[in-house]
Structure 1
Amino acid sequence: MEQELSAQIMRWHEDDEHQQIVDTLMKIPPADRDYDMISSMGRAYNNLSLYEKALEQFAFIAEQGKNDPLWYFRVGYSYYYMKRYEEAAGVLSTALELDPGDQHSARLLDWSHSKWQKQQKAESLRRLSQQQKDPGAVPFEGMDLDSFWEDSKYAREQYVSDPPTDELISSVEEELGYKLPAAYIALMKHQNGGVPHHTSFPTDEATSWAEDHIAITGIMGIGRDKSYSICGDLGSPFMIEEWGYPDIGVVICDCPSAGHDVVMLDYRHCGKDGEPAVIHVDQEDDYEITYLAPNFETFIRGLVNDEDYDTSEEDKENDLRKVAEGQFSPLLTELCGQASEVDGLESKIRSVCTRIVQEKDHFSFHADERSHLMYDVQFWLYTNAYPTTSRQQYLDTYDQMIAFGGEFGQGGYAPGFISDWLDGRIAGGLIVQENGVVRFTDEARSAVIAKLSAEAEAAQASAAARETKDIAPFILVEQKNGGKSVILTVGSYLAELFDTRADEGFEGNGYDWASLAAVFLNERMPGLADTIHFDPEADMFCAYSSNGAAVEQFARAFKFACEDKVLIQDLFTRAELD
């Protein structure tokens, strides 16, 4: 391929002008297209989600590509997004054999293996369930359906309709093109749609919602009059036609993600008149399907209380610790080191991210204002260090900063949020694109730095206020060496606890508090036992460390324990009089 054409194709690729690549190369007679042209056309088709057309192009150069790892990667990419995971894994393995250092092929190979295994497991469970199915069973026999539903104003307004008549059922089935399961009809005749008390369903695989379960908001009833009826304005046809969910059955449950995942009846293997399986479909992961149950009744019986999976407090604490102490990725460390114009840059980034966790209860960026600030900061840092970056180069590198940043990382991200943010900044004139290179305007760059500093100061002030409230009557004190101490003026707080062992000599003084805190530390936080030290006095308890974050962690946890009467009394039984 001529150098000028090659450079133009690269610019179009970086600017997401993939159709322009196809149109240009199609004007060249097939006999005159060389290996690079055909490979570029296949890549363009991949980026246009026309994977069959991409494979057709790659097939033309299969013999020439047998020693080219890039050919295998691009073919594997096509197979992967066609959900032909076994074939994807095969060609991606070859790509890695030819280029063992290819991280893109390695990552796509891991995903292919995982989803191939998931497909195999779902198919195995489906076959087993069909063998065990009893067609004569009475739906929900022995199940108390009266206690199944939650009674709320929201459920009545959005979901619940009058029991469906046979005529309504027939017309809905005709509109959908599928025969509804007998168990679903039976449940709807008991109550036609609503919100169940139990809204979680266990899974063996992770989804965008959680590692081990999915959650539903409600179950759609048979009808058209309510928004969340299966033929309502937010029902199954709407989700398939407007949101792009696969046309393989009927959407029966919406989820807390507000449209980004749903539960469906899956008729692919049983036909439109058969007994459908129940699946979870994840728009956040290219409409990835997770098998849930062989039939509707099994799904309903398998719902569990969402409190069984409530790890929100633990997750929040872990993420707070991550953003406070987690090591930056090598790339983010490098970029921060080259942005010498901002003092305390790492601390500012951590402060803003801490505020994000405090408000969301987890570490993730979406389409909100502070997430956009962090998108701005990462873009500024990267283009400051690499000033000739193109749009596509930035999008390809984004995940190496925070999204998949290791200790200080989120473990994932939604690429659409990043590309939408970038395109919005370009459209708004804050980011300019010249000769394929993207950068902030000087004014926008200064504004990002100023906003980062302002947000960091606000975050630190907010954290200090929250900290004071959360651990009162304990008080955190900064030390000159960068460490912290937590102190308590003794006398009134938990006086009744120390009175229970007054006959042994406990008075509730600073030394007695240190004895109680030592038991708590050794039993509940042994990892900090060598980090936290005590320096009590008669009228004051004091714990300190040069590791300020460790002191904060100890203070919050100890205060929480002090408020748990059963726990603190149990710990106090093992405190020793000093």
Structure 2
Amino acid sequence: MNPAFYADMNLDAFWENSQYAHEEYESDPPTDELIQSMEEELGYKLPASYIALMKHRNGGVPVNACFPTEEPTSWSEDHIAISGILGIGREKANSLGGEFGSLFMIEDWGYPNIGVVICDCPSAGHDVVMLDYRKCGPEGEPEVIHVDQEADYEITFLAKDFETFVRGLIHEDAYDTSEEDFARALERVAQGAFSPLLQELCEKASELEGMEAKIRSICTRITNEKGYFALHADELSMLMYDIQFWLYEHKGGSITREQYLADYPSMIAFGGEFSTGGYAPSFITDWLDLRIKEGVVTVNDQQIRLTDEARQQLIKTLLEH
């Protein structure tokens, strides 16, 4: 490792040694050829301090996983948290070129194309830490920033460079707000005002009484299972995608794929207190493609709709909630 970096740090003590970290993040030390290939794919020269750390351990979970902030974010009033540092490679899902790597977060989750996603966060995609090349250009020394999807991709400055960021990480015990965060999520799901669109659609769903209560019940289960309110690709989330589409049909008229995908964020992702605060468009398109493949949603002359059988089955499922 380059002795110019981390000279007074015990890097063996920096990393968490766990099976999860090894399986999800850690790869073999990167070769010069891999580093060059990864830089060409990303379009940015990776910082020397980051490369030096990855040659010590190529991706992983740090023992100290919180970084103080002077501004509040959706995560906390005074800090952000990371789940791990992405390694250089493509093999592991949580690596720069992996399934959930930098390009995936930019292309599928809509994060700004201003650099490289370097750390994922406990919100499961709703915030990330990035290397920001706006000031220095693609060959320069990037700053480190936090990007908050739940606040319309708001950017918060963290550190002047990657080594400063690493040295500034502190242990989560200094910021144990998990119980308070979970309690706020449950309160938001139980009492938060629906978005205007979702409220309108619930009122039009005359087939079922208590539609709002049913949605809150399902989303409370989701929050209890995850520890936060977010929709992904699990069974209950897929049910909520079904419900939202069924409700959207109550607007009347024909529905195109493009129209639905454009209006989807106004239901639960944004627009009300009852909100996930963000979403990954790919989860919605994957859900829709799956339902079309299954024959649950039909496509006719570019118009999409639930089949009568699927609609009746969904109503039956909702009656059980």
User: What's the counterpart of residue 233 of structure 1?
Assistant: 91
The Cα shift of 1:305 comes to: 1.6
Spell out the pairing of 1:156-235 with structure 2 (5 A cutoff).
159=26, 178=45, 181=48, 185=52, 191-193=56-58, 194-203=60-69, 212-218=79-85, 220=87, 230-231=88-89, 233-234=91-92, 235=95
**Residue 393 of structure 1 is aligned with which of 259, 282, 285?**
259
CA distance in 2, matches of 1:341, 1:215: 44
- Partner SS state of residue 213, structure 1: strand
The Cα shift of 1:443 comes to: 0.8
Moved more, 364-373 or 197-206: 197-206
The Cα shift of 1:367 comes to: 1.9
User: What's the counterpart of residue 152 of structure 1?
Assistant: 18
The Cα shift of 1:333 comes to: 3.3
User: What's the counterpart of residue 345 of structure 1?
Assistant: 211
The Cα shift of 1:316 comes to: 2.1
Structure 2 contact 119–128 (Cα < 8 Å) conserved: no
Residue identity opposite 2:209 in structure 1: D
Structure 1 contact 203–214 (Cα < 8 Å) conserved: no
- The root-mean-square deviation of aligned C-alpha atoms, in Å, is 4.3
Change over 3 Å in CA distance of 1:407–1:240 after alignment to 2 = closer
CA distance in 2, matches of 1:399, 1:262: 23
Are residues 1:316 and 2:174 paired?
Answer: no
Structure 1 contact 284–414 (Cα < 8 Å) conserved: no
Are residues 1:383 and 2:241 paired?
Answer: no
CA distance in 1, matches of 2:201, 2:126: 36
CA distance in 2, matches of 1:401, 1:385: 13
Residue identity opposite 1:397 in structure 2: D
Structure 1 contact 254–263 (Cα < 8 Å) conserved: no
Structure 1 contact 322–408 (Cα < 8 Å) conserved: yes
Are residues 1:410 and 2:268 paired?
Answer: no
Residue identity opposite 1:426 in structure 2: I
TM-score by length of 1: 0.43
Residue identity opposite 2:270 in structure 1: F
The Cα shift of 1:356 comes to: 1.4
Spell out the pairing of 1:29-428 with structure 2 (5 A cutoff).
139-140=5-6, 143=9, 145=11, 147-155=13-21, 159=26, 178=45, 181=48, 185=52, 191-193=56-58, 194-203=60-69, 212-218=79-85, 220=87, 230-231=88-89, 233-234=91-92, 235-236=95-96, 239=101, 253=119, 257=124, 261=128, 263-264=130-131, 266=133, 269=136, 272=139, 275-279=141-145, 291-428=157-294
Pick 1 or 2: higher relative contact order, CA cutoff 8 A, min separation 6.
2
What is the count of residue pairs matched by the alignment? 302
CA distance in 2, matches of 1:330, 1:154: 41
Change over 3 Å in CA distance of 1:396–1:140 after alignment to 2 = closer
Residue identity opposite 1:301 in structure 2: R
The Cα shift of 1:447 comes to: 0.6
* Structure 1 residues 246-274: Cα deviation after superposition (integer angstroms, max 9, x where no partner): 998777656554899565485972774x6
Larger of the two Rg values belongs to structure: 1
The Cα shift of 1:400 comes to: 3.3
Change over 3 Å in CA distance of 1:354–1:434 after alignment to 2 = same
Structure 1 contact 184–297 (Cα < 8 Å) conserved: no
Change over 3 Å in CA distance of 1:284–1:149 after alignment to 2 = same
The Cα shift of 1:313 comes to: 1.9
Structure 1 contact 200–303 (Cα < 8 Å) conserved: yes
Structure 1 contact 363–410 (Cα < 8 Å) conserved: yes
Change over 3 Å in CA distance of 1:305–1:442 after alignment to 2 = same
Change over 3 Å in CA distance of 1:208–1:430 after alignment to 2 = farther
**Percent identity of equivalent pairs:** 48
